[in-house]
Amino acid sequence: MNNPKDNINSTQMIVFILSSQIGVGILTLPAKLAEKAGHDGWLSVIISTSICSIIITIMILLLKRYRDKSIIQINNILYGKYLGTFFNLYFIFYFIITTAVIFRSLVDIIQITALNFTPALLLSFVIIIPSTYLCIYGLQPICRYSMLIYLVITVTLLFFLLVANNFKITFLMPLGESGLFKIINSVKSSVISFIGFELVSVIYPYISDKEKILKKSLIANFITGLFYTSIVLATTALFGENILKRLVYPLFSLSRTYNAPIFERLDLFYVALWFPAMIGSTKMYLYASNLAIRDLFKLQPKKIYIFLNVILIILLSRIPTNFFDVNKYSNFLSIMSISIMLFIVFSYFFSFINKRGVNKH
């Protein structure tokens, strides 16, 4: 029997998508884009927003063809028991790896910015407790908690206004200097920062007003795109591409340039505000992996496998030994996420060939 706390509406789904997308990736995105596309990185973000909107549309159309079914169930119908199970295992593997990589990045950020000497393993256990707790309770409490993302977005945009007098428009010029090839090449990096929307394919059966899902998903992706574009524009206009390449977390460096009356160093509060936002995307992937495991293996009771999943994620997150190692795993993750997106697109078109289980209305 389904937990009623797992049911959400399409407006809560916007929060779900925002919280899944906006997390750790955006903190390093401006620097990555500066490396690949110079000061034209923001153009790459706009292209990525469009690409992700197309993929979201195809994904929702695929889900609509199978009423009330998640991608895990669709795979079994579309590809049969064995191939479907194989693809489902790949999905679960992807969710777990993504959770582990995001979680590792999160722990690293907390260690770099706040808790330098706290042992990482202990920090990992402490940080994941609230996420585990929420995952046990269901999707609805997760989405309610994730409303915090709106505060993060608002405060970030407010910060841009506060430091705007230091922006140099010349740092964004000349437009398109890096060339079309480099901009297109950088799209791979920016698309990865948009991952999170694919989780809708797992929670689809739990969204109540399904007729609004496409519209609301596109709205969520548009908000993320707008937010990312403003971040890349602001950090480039403030720092210029040359120093931007050297910054690890440009958004945090940006917050350090504002001197607030009385508080002086508002950056410390700002960095702390990002922690729950970053935990948000970990939580979403953790929940999705739990849900996918439950759908595939029909496991009960859920507390046991959630707990085992959490232990696995913590252990996996400790495999990379340093910053560059984490980047290596992130690159691996980016290949996986692109493959997942392509798989969803392929599945949509394949569903026209194999029409088994397709909703005729």
**Which residues contact another protein by CB under 8 A?**
112-119, 122, 126, 129, 166, 168-171, 173-174, 177, 238-240, 242-243, 246, 252-253, 256-257, 259, 264-265, 267-268, 271
**Count of alpha carbons within 13 angstroms of residue 114, beta-carbon side:** 16
Q: How far apart are CA 196 and CA 16, in angstroms?
A: 9
Total count of residues recorded for the chain = 361
At residue 176, φ and ψ (nearest 5 deg) are 75, 20
| Closest approach of another protein to the CB of residue 240, in Å | 5
* 244, 43 contact by CB (below 8 A): no
From residue 243, alpha-carbon distances to 42, 113, 162, 250, 351 in Å are 16, 19, 21, 9, 48
* 71, 357 contact by CB (below 8 A): no
Judged by CB, which is closer to another protein: 85, or 111? 111
| Closest approach of another protein to the CB of residue 175, in Å | 10
Judged by CB, which is closer to another protein: 82, or 117? 117
Judged by CB, which is closer to another protein: 244, or 340? 244
* 70, 205 contact by CB (below 8 A): yes
Judged by CB, which is closer to another protein: 123, or 312? 123
Judged by CB, which is closer to another protein: 68, or 264? 264
Residues 6+ apart with CB under 8 A from 126: none
From residue 107, alpha-carbon distances to 1, 137, 316, 326, 345 in Å are 36, 24, 13, 11, 33
| Closest approach of another protein to the CB of residue 272, in Å | 11
* 252, 271 contact by CB (below 8 A): yes
The position carrying tokens 């000349």 is 174
| Closest approach of another protein to the CB of residue 267, in Å | 8
| Closest approach of another protein to the CB of residue 157, in Å | 20
Judged by CB, which is closer to another protein: 208, or 259? 259
| Closest approach of another protein to the CB of residue 359, in Å | 42
Judged by CB, which is closer to another protein: 246, or 355? 246
Judged by CB, which is closer to another protein: 263, or 297? 263
Q: How far apart are CA 78 and CA 74, in angstroms?
A: 6
Secondary structure E strands in the chain: 259-260, 264-265
Secondary structure E strands in 97-162: none
Judged by CB, which is closer to another protein: 50, or 166? 166
| Closest approach of another protein to the CB of residue 176, in Å | 10
| Closest approach of another protein to the CB of residue 243, in Å | 4
| Closest approach of another protein to the CB of residue 173, in Å | 4
Residues 6+ apart with CB under 8 A from 180: none
Judged by CB, which is closer to another protein: 115, or 299? 115
Task: Please name which of 236, 255, 285 lies closest in space to residue 24, comparing C-alpha atoms.
Answer: 285
* 109, 302 contact by CB (below 8 A): no
Q: Angle, to 10 degrees, between the axis of helix 267-297 and the axis of helix 71-113?
A: 150
| Closest approach of another protein to the CB of residue 25, in Å | 20
Angle at 97 between CA 349 and CA 124, to 5 degrees: 150
Q: How far apart are CA 190 and CA 205, in angstroms?
A: 29
